[in-house]
Amino acid sequence: MDPLMPPPVRRISLEHPPTVVAPDADAPENAGASSGNGTARSAAPAPNAVERMRCDAVTIAYAAKIAVNKVDLEIRQGEVLGLIGPSGCGKTTLLRSLNRLTELTPSAARGGRITLDGEDLDAIEVTALRKRVSMVFQQPNPFPMSVFDNVAYALREGASRRPRKPQLAEPVERALRRAGLWDEVKDNLDHPALRLSGGQQQRLCIARSLAAQPEVLLMDEPCSALDPVSTTTIERLILELREQIAVVIVTHNLQQAQRVADRVAFMYLGELVEQGTSEQIFHAPQAQRTRDYVGGAFG
């Protein structure tokens, strides 16, 4: 194997009938974990969705403050999962725990179990895990290097600056194309990435994440710092990506969740109050708190 390329990514062939996991199948074990708020969890998965990640009774605390409380959640390839809820409800913390970024906070502690393709997250070497579960942040944050190097950064081993362009040109182009940025930057690959506009920077960050061929893409309010046109571009991109990778997007823009998410999970004060299809959550919410939040009674 070429030592300079990332390890091969396990690809799920969509020709084979995927193992669809209905959330009701594990309802008994979920019942205790959801702290008995009595909400129905009947999310009908998209027909070709495949479970990739699963959270079992995940609790995350910063010192004594519990940020995420016993959350059960599945993340499936083939659909976009939207995490919604008011600020400080734990949705970003939950998202960060999915590639163990929470470990960077010394005071954070996690309970419960998160699996990626059935494998416990804690058993996967952390850099290998983060290549499979990548993340896009709220603020566009390209690195202070050229557009090309930003995307190639994920492909190169460690801190290496090599191999030079020939071997990398093709995967870099592919990633930039997937992020819908290629046509805008193809002539300026050597330009500093920080000269791009905010929307372009964010798409570059998405391209950078895609370059490592992740299986799950986590997005933490990726459009909140962007203008409406860039937002539309990125939302369209998210919809294109969902067939190939599992996408989780945190947003507190409910309209955005409605536009891009197939399945929505509503969190409030660290608890997962309700999850279901976008249709269910926005038009027929079961829990009172969801109804109030979606209806605009608080937020």
Partner 1 sequence: MAAATAPAPPPPGVRTRARDSAASWPLADRVGLACCWAAGLALALVAAAIVIYMAWKGISQLSPSLLVQHPTGDVDQSKAGGFLDPIEGTLLLTLIGIALAVPIGVATALWLVEYGRPAPLARAVESSVEIIAGAPSVVLALFGLTVFSNTFFSFMSFRPTGADLAYGRSFLIAGIVMSLIALPLVVGATREALLQVPNHVREASLALGKTKAATIRRVLLPTIRPGIATGTTLGMGRIVGDTAIVILLLGNTLLTEPQEGLPGFGLLRGTGSTLTSYVYGNSPAGEGNAPEKAYAAAFVLMVIVIALNALATRLARGRDGGPAWIR
C-beta of 134: minimal distance to partner 1 in Å?
6
Which residues contact partner 1 (rule: CB under 8 A)? 6, 99, 101, 104, 127-132, 134-135, 137-141, 143-145, 153-154, 158-159, 161, 194-195, 198, 201, 205, 208-209, 212, 218
Q: 66 or 175, CB closer to partner 1? A: 175
| Distance in Å, CB of 237 to partner 1, minimum | 18
Q: In the complex with partner 1, which residue's Cβ is closer, 100 or 291?
A: 100
What is the closest distance, in whole angstroms, from the C-beta atom of residue 292 to partner 1 in the complex?
A: 26
Pick the closer one to partner 1 by CB: 70 or 110.
110
Nearer to partner 1, 195 or 283 (CB): 195
Q: Of 132 and 259, which CB lies nearer to partner 1 in the complex structure?
A: 132
Q: How far is the CB of 99 from partner 1 (least distance, A)?
A: 6
State the Cα–Cα distance between residues 208 and 204, nearest whole angstrom: 6
Least distance from partner 1 to the Cβ atom of residue 144, Å: 5
Nearest distance from C-beta of residue 264 to partner 1, angstroms: 24
Q: Which C-beta is closer to partner 1: that of 5 or that of 20?
A: 5
Give the Å distances, CA to CA, from 23 to 17, 26, 45, 191, 196.
18, 6, 8, 47, 42
Residue type, 137: F
Angstrom distance (rounded) from CA 17 to CA 24: 20
DSSP string, the chain: --TTSPPPPP---SSSPP----GGGGHHHHHHHTTT------PPPPTT-EEEEEEEEEEEEETTEEEEEEEEEEEEETSEEEEE-STTSSHHHHHHHTTTGGGGSTTEEEEEEEEETTEEGGGS-HHHHHHHEEEE-SS----SSBHHHHHHHTTSSTT---S-HHHHHHHHHHHHHHTT-HHHHTT-TTSBGGGS-HHHHHHHHHHHHHHT--SEEEEESTTTTS-HHHHHHHHHHHHHHTTTSEEEEE-S-HHHHHHH-SEEEEEETTEEEEEEEHHHHHHS--SHHHHHHHHTS--
Minimum gap (Å) between residue 218 Cβ and partner 1: 8
Provide the minimum distance between the beta carbon of 132 and partner 1 in the complex, in angstroms, as a whole number.
Answer: 8
Residue with smaller CB distance to partner 1, 85 or 142:
142
Q: 140 vs 171, which CB is nearer to partner 1? A: 140
